[in-house]
Amino acid sequence: MPMKLKRSETDEQLKIERIMYARQYSLTLDKRRCVVCELCEIVCPREAIQVVKPAEGEETTSPRLEIDVELCQYCGICNAICPFGALELKIDGEKVVPVVKFESFPQLIREIEIDDEKCPVGCTVCVDACPLKLITVKVVDDEGREVEDAELYPDEERLRVTVELDKEYCPVCRVCEYKCPYDAIHTQKVIYGHIRVDTDLCPEGCRECVDACPIPEVLQLSEDGKVVVNDLFCVYCGACRVVCPVEGAISLERTVIRHTPVHSGAWNKALEKLTSTKDMTKELRSRAVIKVKESVERRLA
Amino acid sequence: MSEEEPRIGVFVCHCGLNIAGVIDVEEVTNYAKTLPNVVYAVHNRYTCSDPGQDEIRKGIKEYNLNRVVVAACSPRLHEPTFRRCVAEAGLNPYLFEMANIREFSSWCHPSTPEEATEKAKEIVRMAVAKARLLNPLKPLEVPVTQKALVLGGGIAGINAALDLAEMGFKVYLVEKKESIGGHMAQLDKTFPTLDCSICIEGPRMVDVARHPNVEIISYADLLSVEGYVGNFKVKVRKNPRYVIADNCTGCGECRDVCPIEFPNEWDMNMGVRRAIDIPFAQAVPLIYTINRDHCIECYKCVDACGARQAIDFSQEPEEIELEVGAIIVATGYDIYVPEEGNLYGYGRYSNVITGLEFERLILAAGPTGGHVVRASDGRRPRSVALIQCVGSRDVNKYEYCSGFCCMYTLKHAIQLKEHYGREVEVYVFYMDMRSNFKGYEEFYRRAREMGVTFIRGRVSRVIEDPKTKNLIVRVEDIALGEPIEVEVELVVLATAALPSKGSDEISRILNISRGADGFFMESHPKLKPIDTPVDGIFLAGACQGPKDIPYSVSQGCGAAARAATILSKKTWKIEPIVAVVDPSRCRNVKAKCGICAAKCPYGAIRAPQGQPAQVITAMCHGCGTCAAECPADAITQMHFTDAQIFAQIRAALQENPEDKILGFLCNWCSYAGADLAGTSRFEYPPTLRPIRVMCSGRVDRDFVLEAFRLGAGMVLVAACHLPYDCHYISGNWRMKERMEVLARMLTKLGLSPERFRVDYISAAEGVKFAELITEMTEKLKELGRERIMAENQKLKPVLDRMLSRKKRT
Ligand SMILES: Cc1cc2nc3c(=O)[nH]c(=O)nc-3n(C[C@H](O)[C@H](O)[C@H](O)COP(=O)(O)OP(=O)(O)OC[C@H]3O[C@@H](n4cnc5c(N)ncnc54)[C@H](O)[C@@H]3O)c2cc1C
Ligand code: SF4
Ligand code: SF4
């Protein structure tokens, strides 16, 4: 059986596979979680991921991700960097991130502490606040059994609230923290930075960025139709910049990324690209492309 | 001596009945006696035998002969023999000429003995005509660089290198891949003794690497080769491993930290290796390589390597130049991988694999740890079909037999039985079982005794059961005479062996030719099985045709011995059939010409402004292209002079020219193809009168004009195939350009276009040659004498005028 490279796509996912006799790899993009930001595209060391803008005349106007079956090396860097946990790498059916396993790429640190002792029975503010619907709140009795209808429970004293959060998929926007009336949630952003929108450049009536932003309260339209930025909840993913039709209207800079410690060239390069300005990132990417091209040419010459 | 009146002796050979059975040798001999300057003619049974050669030597003494013509077989076979013979009698070896009346007459015209005899007489007449004009020549001597290049580090190349090194010669072993070892290093066990392949090859690999006379240059490509026997200049590019060979200790600590896996070619892409790795544990040289097509530049390896500092991401390809006296090509073969779903479901069904994949499966160090399991479910198959001749012996794919598949299929059958005994049913589907070497037939019997089922017949189809992923093999059982179906859980295809990738490139760089099957061609299938047509370049192993390990090893040793015949000498003699410029006729003195310099395929001519052109003799390969191109007839090719060839043309067309096809055949391809037509006894009409030139590039347009001036029915110029087969790089291209212009002109002058033909025939195309002459003869008949003679009459005055400037010689 010859080795096979496969690509398959449904409405929900895009999957690429490398199937060998004795080993099988897959990389799956969960399209429901993917917000089409630019992070994976930026960090992929082999330029295997690309944000594709829809061609003219295409039904949809939103961009999508494409993964190149031939370029992907199944290193898992995209899996490690995605703040929304939209990419998943499997080897022989098991979830692994080789670059993390071999410490050549860090993991993002999602610092989220929830003190559910403070939560009163009946409060679900955080559940409703979470834009990605990652929080579940349950009421349990002292034996840990879930209580469906707390109001009917005879002894309120014996009830407790548990809050669970799917950390893997959380970009740490901090909305829940701010909305929590009881100060029960404490978080630290994964990515820090600045974002500014130069509204003078915005075309009349455009709201692409507002629609693209995965966190509802970061970008809003004011009454006079201008975009207003609320830096507080921004996760600095860059989904807005992907859709913005005007070069330079959105300036986004990442200053700090919280991650587990590593000593790795791949991370240094990724960091350089992630934290530099857009132009600089382009420059760095094209330099890498030239390098690859050169080495291919050398081989073929 | 050339000033003396020629005294020619003609020796006609019976070649047992090979010639005398068809041709009246007595008549040929008597006819020879009537030819001008022939003072002696005899016939004998075997001219090449000792008594035959004695007779020549005696004849030279007794009759004071100063030219000898032997009418026998092809000069490609025995010219060197007879040259040596006349030299022993004190005659210059170049005062000898051969008339090929066997391959060109008795063997190809057995049913028309009279015409064959007539043709033989004319061939002798042509040879005598040339002999009268022969000049004595002195072989040229060139110094020999006593080093060798072995290209390809498979088992054949390794053995060739070791033998030469043991004889004391420095050897460069250039290998394309990261490690030497070739296919043998991929195999599990070897037939017929079933010893572990790497256990017997590994020590040889180490020996060759350790030998003080051997320098292994691995992960390298051959770029160019210039020069000639004894003096080759070779350019090689060492590809960057991004690991400094001298610093790498082979510890593998870098591999252990590398996060990237990619398909391992050595494992037939069934398993993986890391971005920094060696292809297999016993790799030689043991130097790690980073594959930059996969590396993500995390530099974890750099950390792991630490103080040894062996990793260097800035490495660049490096070009090196080697000087060697001889070259051995041992580039092996590749395996045919059926295109997706094209044959027996390979690529479409996951439980269909190739024989080489099977080797990796059953090998303990392989990707599955030596477990034969199915790709579809990881389960061990309880029944296996081994299908033979996949792609081989198939006129629609590869016509030839791949040699070793029968034996390795038997090996796989026995291995399956040895590993899994009664738990596995093994079926072999075969056409013919070829087990004809020492111990092989016994091996076959062993397989039968172990309970392997042999079914004779060509498999028509393999279909997958989509549920179980089992395979249904359909075959026409020859024994039963009806189609049967067998359901199995795994199918192994014994796919054809192909010329290794890049053989075309190598054949171009080295100027050696390939047969119709794409494998490199030996100089003579029987007597020079290891030599190539290029002096100083030899073949070893499967690159010359599929062969098993014992045969490849013997050929490797044979090639070493052949190379040593050159390397052991301080100087080497080269044939003096080179080009010479007559400075008094060269136009370049007065006007800017330099055509010869531009056309010489070897750049062997310099034509500085205002000076006559000069041939650098040691670089001249003797194709004669320049002699044909020179507009002032200032260049002569020794032994193939204008005068000599004109004499042959005239002798050939002395009688009934309009019934004849005058053919100019290049020595390496078309003459050899014609020889093959003879040796294969393909019969064709006796209309051809052949003139041998070294290269079709030598064929001057004046030769063709002269032929038509004399009334030839047809003229054929036959060459090696375009684009790369010419033994003189591009002589055939020059001929093509020249002849295309000429053909247009002749047509304009009223010549029927069919009467002038340029064709390309390889040394392997005996059939094509016979068919060509048959077809031309039919056309000749169709046109009819009348029409030809009428055309000739019209043409003659024009051609007379055109050729009047030629010295009448
Ligand atoms: C499935 C299978 C099983 C087999 N089992 C057996 C067996 O049991 N017993 C047996 O006797 N035979 C067996 N054979 C046959 C065996 O593989 C060959 O006889 C043997 O490998 C031939 O050796 P070689 O050196 O001529 O060629 P190869 O092994 O092909 O080596 C050629 C070498 O040249 C190198 N090379 C190629 N091109 C270039 C280039 N342009 N420049 C530099 N280097 C180059 C290659 O990388 C390679 O290292 C088997 C073959 C197959 C396919
Ligand atoms: S730099 Fe490349 S070769 Fe080295 S460890 Fe990282 S991926 Fe592997
Ligand atoms: S063209 Fe041929 S014969 Fe003439 S100099 Fe070059 S190699 Fe020699």
∠ Cα A113 A275 A226 (to 5°): 85
Between chain A and chain B, how many beta carbons pairs sit less than 8 Å apart?
A: 97
- pLDDT for A295 equals 52
What distances in angstroms separate CA B785 from CA B673, B708, B711, B788, one per listed residue? 29, 14, 11, 5
Under a CB-based contact definition with an 8 Å cutoff, are residues B139 and B573 in contact? Answer: yes
pLDDT in tens, A85-101: 999 999 999 999 999 99
Can you say how many angstroms the Cα of residue B377 is from the centroid of all Cα atoms in its chain? 46
Nearest ligand to the CA atom of B494: 1
Rounded to whole angstroms, how far apart are CA atoms A33 and A14?
12
Residue to probe by mutation, ligand 1, list B235, B331, B357, B498, most atoms within 8 Å of CB: B331
- Tell me which residue in A75, A263, A295 faces B296 most closely, judged by beta carbons: A75
The low-confidence residues of chain B, meaning pLDDT below 70, are 1-3, 341, 807-809
Pocket flag, ligand 2, residue B299 (CB < 6 Å) = yes
Rounded-to-integer distance, Cα A12 and Cα A30, Å: 6
Q: How far is B302 from chain A (nearest CA, A)?
A: 10
Question: Mapped to the 3 state alphabet, what secondary structure does A40-58 carry?
Answer: HHHHCCCCCEEEECCCCCC
Q: What are the helix (H) ranges across chain A?
A: 39-43, 77-81, 98-101, 125-129, 175-179, 208-212, 239-243, 265-275, 278-300
Q: Enter the tokens of residue A192.
A: 């820090």
Q: Which residues of B touch A20 (CB under 8 A)?
A: 263, 269-272, 367
Tens of pLDDT, residue by residue, chain A (301 residues): 899 999 999 999 999 999 999 999 999 999 999 999 989 999 999 999 999 988 887 777 789 999 999 999 999 999 999 999 999 999 999 999 999 999 999 999 999 999 999 999 989 999 999 999 999 999 998 888 888 887 888 888 888 999 999 999 999 999 999 999 999 999 999 999 999 999 999 998 899 999 999 998 899 998 888 999 998 999 999 999 999 999 889 999 998 999 999 888 899 889 888 887 666 666 666 666 566 556 555 545 4
What is the rounded CA–CA span in Å between residue B149 and residue B139?
26
CA angle B524, B528, B531 (to 5 degrees): 100
Q: Which pLDDT value is given to residue A284?
A: 61
Pick from B351, B358, B435, B433: nearest CA to B393: B433
Beta-carbon separation of A21 and B271 below 8 A: yes
- Determine the atom of ligand 2 nearest the C-alpha atom of B260: 7
Query: Which DSSP state fits B105?
Result: I
Name the closest ligand to CA B254.
2
Nearest to B497 by CA among B453, B552, B547: B547
B32 in Cβ contact with B60 (< 8 Å): no
* In contact, B527 and B77? CB cutoff 8 Å: yes
Regarding pTM above 0.95, the answer is no
Tell me if A18 and B353 make a contact (CB, 8 A cut-off). Answer: no
Helix (H, G, I), strand (E, B) or coil at B161: helix
Extract the tokens encoding B97: 């000429």
The secondary element (H helix, E strand) that includes residue A187 is strand A185-188
Nearest CA to B776 among B802, B755, B790, B791?
B755
* Beta carbons within 8 Å of B339's beta carbon, 6+ residues apart: B347
A98 with B261: Cβ contact below 8 A:
yes
Q: How far apart are CA B345 and CA B469, in angstroms?
A: 12
Q: Residue B518: which residues within 8 A CB-CB, separation 6 or more?
A: B498, B499, B503, B504
Q: Are A36 and A51 in contact (CB under 8 A)?
A: yes
Token output for B48:
């090449």
Query: Could you write out the three-class secondary structure of B791-805?
Result: HHHHHHHHHHHHHCC
Position B57 scores a pLDDT of 96
Number of H helices, E strands in chain B: 22, 38
The confidence score (pLDDT) of residue A297 equals 59
Nearest CA to B32 out of B63, B64, B65, B9 is that of: B9
Report which of B674, B639, B649 is spatially closest to residue B799, judged by C-alpha positions.
B649
Helix axes B25-33, B113-132, angle to 10 degrees: 30
Tell me what pLDDT residue B532 has. 87
User: B254-285 in b/e burial notation, b at 16+ Cβ within 10 A?
Assistant: bbebbbbbbbbebbbbbbbbbbbbbbbebbbb
CB contact under 8 A, A23 and B296: no
Q: Nearest bound ligand to CA A99?
A: 2
Give the per-residue pLDDT at B263: 96
Q: Which of B178, B223, B296, B337 would best serve as a mutation to test chain A binding (most A beta carbons within 10 A)?
A: B296
Amino acid at A106: P
For residue B66, give every residue at least 6 positions away whose Cβ sits within 8 Å of its Cβ, in sequence order, or none: B1, B4, B6, B7, B8, B91, B95
| Radius of gyration of the CA atoms of chain A, in A | 22
Q: Is the CB of B177 under 6 A from ligand 1?
A: yes
> What pLDDT is stored for residue B65 in this prediction?
96
Contact, A105 vs A77, CB < 8 A?
A: yes
Per-residue model confidence (pLDDT) at position A193: 92
| Pairwise CB contact (< 8 Å): B375 & A18 | no
User: H or E segment at B774?
Assistant: helix B766-783
Asked if this assembly's ipTM is beyond 0.85, the reply is yes
* Integer Cα distance of B637 and B693 in angstroms: 10
Query: From CA B267, how far away is CA B362, in angstroms rounded?
Result: 12
- Select from B505, B502, B509, B513 the least CA-distant residue to B726: B513
User: How many CB atoms lie under 10 A from the CB of residue B435?
Assistant: 18
CA distance A72 to A16: 9
Residue nearest to atom 1 of ligand 3 (CA): B600
Residue with token string 């005349």: A57
CA distance, residue A236 to nearest chain B CA (Å):
25
Please answer yes or no on whether A2 and B337 come within 8 Å at the CB atom.
yes
Give me the sign of the Cα torsion angle B270, B272, B275, B276.
Answer: negative
Q: Closest Cα to residue B70, out of B12, B28, B117? A: B12
| A268: Cα separation from own chain's centroid | 20
DSSP assignment, residue A137? Answer: E
Nearest to B158 by CA among B537, B500, B559: B559
- The Cβ of residue A60 has, within 10 Å, a number of other Cβ atoms equal to 7
Q: How far is CA B154 from the centre of its chain?
A: 19
Q: Is A223 helix (H, G, I), strand (E, B) or coil?
A: coil
Residues contacting ligand 3 via CB (< 6 Å): B 578-579, 600, 602, 604-605, 615, 620-626, 637
Q: String of b and e for B370-405 (b: at least 16 CB within 10 Å)?
A: eebbbbbeeebbebbbbbbbbbbbeeebbebbbbbb
8-state DSSP, B239? P
One-letter amino acid at B179 equals S
From residue B421, alpha-carbon distances to A128, B380, B386, B408, B416 in Å are: 66, 13, 16, 18, 7
Q: At B353, list the tokens.
A: 């694999």
Neighbours of B138 (CB within 10 A): 10
| Secondary structure (DSSP) of B479-543 | TTTEEEEEEESEEEEEEPEEEPTTHHHHHHHHT--B-TTSSBPPSBTTTBSSB-SSTTEEE-GGG
- For residue B196, list its beta bridge partners: B189
Distance B205 CA to ligand 1 centre (A): 14
Best of A3, A18, A19, A21 to disrupt the B interface (most B CBs within 10 Å) is A21
d(C-alpha A172, C-alpha A170), whole Å: 5
Could you tell me which of B316, B331, B324, B330 has the C-alpha nearest to residue B238? B316
